[in-house]
Amino acid sequence: MIPSGAPIVTAAQMRAAEQAVFASGVAQDELMERAAAAVAREVARFAMDRPILILAGPGNNGGDAYVAARLLHARGHDVNLVATGTPQTGAAERMQALWQGPTSSLYAARPRPVLVDGLFGTGMTRPLERGLAAVFADLVKQADFTLSIDLPSGIDTDSGADLGAPRGIDVTLALGALKPGHLLDCGGERCGTLLLADLDIPIDTRWRSVARPRLDTPGAHSHKYCRGLVAVIEGAMPGAARLAARAAMAGGAGYVVLAGDRPWGDGPDALVRREVRSAEDLTEFLGWDRIDAVVLGPGLGRDRRAEAFLRAAFAAPKPLILDGDALTLLGSNAARWLQTRPAPTWLTPHWGEFDRMFAGEGSKIARTLAAAAEARATIVHKGADTVIASPKGDVRLLAGASPWLSTAGTGDVLAGLLAAQVVQEGKGIVPASAAAWLHARAAQLAGPALIADALIMHIPQAVSECL
């Protein structure tokens, strides 16, 4: 579980926000007391009367741990503390001095039913030392319940990379804001339930976790065209385009046209077919002013005809959702081409497609943001963690979606859902975030061993939860 629509900041941004609070007259010790009070509250709630072991590292994460130990002890809890080194910050040193209870070294530590991880937080700069990682993992394994302060120790704050974090942490209490490491890469699966403590630190950021969208019920006087017309272009593998078209219908588009070789074919009767055999046909079709958005790429193929279709769709002044083969055809020319588009574009690459289109280094967020700015397109960079970035610098992160989504065709469903949101919700990151939420929720409703077709069946339920 992940706090919905919560602000996300990097380690450096969190430090800057903290400095601004200090500059406004709040002492560092006061902020640490606030953080630790939130930790103690959560630990007490889960611990009940069970013995607690608190691990305190050398930095301010350890400082929070010393204060939490003192607060829990004062409330009558049975607390033991393990110090892994000498405090390296003034605040941590002062808080250590105030802790009067039982303290041991790491290697003398005895497992206890409740474990609090205050080893490292946003200051993690390198992998956990092996011995420490092994003892830590063992203490987590033997505890009934583990809570990590701010981040699981051994997760990189900005990328979520694994720096030796154990499995089995039950709750992570993020302090002040979420960090990318809570959602990306290994972070997404190591945090357990993610909670967020408000420390009254002003946070200024354009990055947020994906939130449940607010969708509109059609008005009393709605008609099919005012609810949005989506055109999906068929190619070599018609099943993929059909999945996208059906997802657009289930996602609330008023009218969906499947354009391809055949004016008939499988699919719901409500799906309108249009014969489009050549790029010229496509250009003519896309000249229809009722069309509000176009989906191109699912099952398109990569032959000359597919390329000609891509050129025709590019030139049409219509919002365009590009997926699958269309992205592969764009390849490393993507940014150059996309800059010339006469209307907004959304791209939905998985990591392989993304890598073929965009070079660059850094975290998944940094790369997706740079690509969105360069290509002037909103990018939904899919995977176990999904990073959505707009050219303006907005980011939405989604983690914790069902791993059963890793099956063929679920990406086609996302492309269709996105088109339905584009025709109803408009521009930029808003429809992309809504589509990602609906997709993940439909997967949750579909349960284990889902197939893409089943995912579509659950979209209306997901939509109904957003009205």
Ligand X SMILES: NC(=O)C1=CN([C@@H]2O[C@H](COP(=O)(O)OP(=O)(O)OC[C@H]3O[C@@H](n4cnc5c(N)ncnc54)[C@H](O)[C@@H]3O)[C@@H](O)[C@H]2O)[C@@H](O)CC1
Ligand Y SMILES: Nc1ncnc2c1ncn2[C@@H]1O[C@H](COP(=O)(O)OP(=O)(O)O)[C@@H](O)[C@H]1O
Which of K ion, ligand X, ligand Y, none does 14 bind, CB closer than 5 to 8 A by kind? ligand X
- Choose between 153 and 209: whose C-beta lies nearer to K ion: 153
Binding mask 98-117 vs K ion (x if CB under 5 A, - otherwise)? -------------------x
CB 320 within 8 A of CB 314: yes
CB 275 within 8 A of CB 263: yes
The closest alpha carbon to 263, from 252, 251, 273, belongs to: 273
Give the Cβ contact number of residue 148 at 10 Å.
32
Length of the chain: 467
Binding mask 118-147 vs K ion (x if CB under 5 A, - otherwise)? ---x--------------------------
For the CB of residue 4, give the shortest distance to ligand X in the complex, in Å.
21
Encoded tokens for 187: 């972070």
For the CB of residue 405, give the shortest distance to ligand Y in the complex, in Å.
4
Which of ligand Y, ligand X, K ion, none does 425 bind, CB closer than 5 to 8 A by kind? none
Annotated binding-site residue? 182: no
For the CB of residue 124, give the shortest distance to K ion in the complex, in Å.
8
Annotated binding-site residue? 360: no
Does 28 participate in binding K ion (rule CB under 5 A)?
Answer: no
Annotated binding-site residue? 383: yes
Annotated binding-site residue? 49: no
For the CB of residue 245, give the shortest distance to ligand Y in the complex, in Å.
14
Annotated binding-site residue? 5: no
For the CB of residue 152, give the shortest distance to ligand X in the complex, in Å.
11
Annotated binding-site residue? 124: yes
What is the amino acid identity at position 123? Answer: G
Give how far the C-alpha of residue 216 lies from the chain's centroid of Cα atoms, to the nearest Å: 24
**Close Cβ partners of 132 (under 8 Å, ≥ 6 residues apart):** 84, 106, 119, 164
For the CB of residue 153, give the shortest distance to ligand X in the complex, in Å.
8
For the CB of residue 365, give the shortest distance to ligand X in the complex, in Å.
19
- Choose between 151 and 244: whose C-beta lies nearer to K ion: 151
Which of K ion, ligand Y, ligand X, none does 406 bind, CB closer than 5 to 8 A by kind? ligand Y
Work out which of 60, 153, 402, 424 binds K ion, going by CB under 5 A: 153
Which of ligand X, ligand Y, K ion, none does 87 bind, CB closer than 5 to 8 A by kind? none
Which of K ion, ligand Y, ligand X, none does 401 bind, CB closer than 5 to 8 A by kind? ligand Y
- Choose between 121 and 228: whose C-beta lies nearer to K ion: 121
For the CB of residue 18, give the shortest distance to ligand X in the complex, in Å.
4
Task: Please report, as ranges, the residues that interact with ligand X according to CB under 6 A.
Answer: 14, 18, 31-32, 35, 57-64, 88-89, 120-129, 149-150, 175-176, 199, 201
Annotated binding-site residue? 84: no
Annotated binding-site residue? 412: yes
For the CB of residue 118, give the shortest distance to K ion in the complex, in Å.
6
Which of ligand Y, K ion, ligand X, none does 148 bind, CB closer than 5 to 8 A by kind? K ion
HEC readout, the chain = CCCCCCEECCHHHHHHHHHHHHHCCCCHHHHHHHHHHHHHHHHHHHHCCCCEEEEECCCHHHHHHHHHHHHHHHCCCCEEEEECCCCCCHHHHHHHHHCCCCEECHHHCCCCCEEEEECCCCCCCCCCCHHHHHHHHHHHHHCCEEEEECCCCCECCCCCCECCCCCCCCEEEEECCECHHHCCCCHHHHCCEEEEECCCCCCCCCEEECCCCCCCCCCCCCCCCCCCEEEEECCCCHHHHHHHHHHHHHCCCCEEEEEECCCCCCCCCCCEEEECCCHHHHHHHHCCCCCCEEEECCCCCCCHHHHHHHHHHHHCCCCEEECHHHHHHHHHHHHHHHCCCCCCEEECCCHHHHHHHCCCCCCHHHHHHHHHHHHCCEEEECCCCEEEECCCCCEEEECCCCHHHCCCCHHHHHHHHHHHHHHHHCCCHHHHHHHHHHHHHHHHHHCCCCCHHHHHHCHHHHHHCCC
Task: Please report, as ranges, the residues that interact with ligand Y according to CB under 6 A.
Answer: 324, 350, 382-384, 386, 401-403, 405-406, 408-412, 414, 439
Annotated binding-site residue? 357: no
- Choose between 118 and 400: whose C-beta lies nearer to K ion: 118
The closest alpha carbon to 340, from 368, 320, 364, belongs to: 320
Does 149 participate in binding K ion (rule CB under 5 A)?
Answer: yes
Annotated binding-site residue? 68: no
CB 43 within 8 A of CB 52: yes
Annotated binding-site residue? 260: no
Annotated binding-site residue? 385: yes
Which of ligand Y, K ion, ligand X, none does 60 bind, CB closer than 5 to 8 A by kind? ligand X
Binding residues for (6S)-NADPHX: 60-64, 121-127, 150, 240, 299, 350, 412
Binding residues for AMP: 382-386, 411
Binding residues for K(+): 61, 117, 153
Binding residues: 60-64, 117, 121-127, 150, 153, 240, 299, 350, 382-386, 411-412
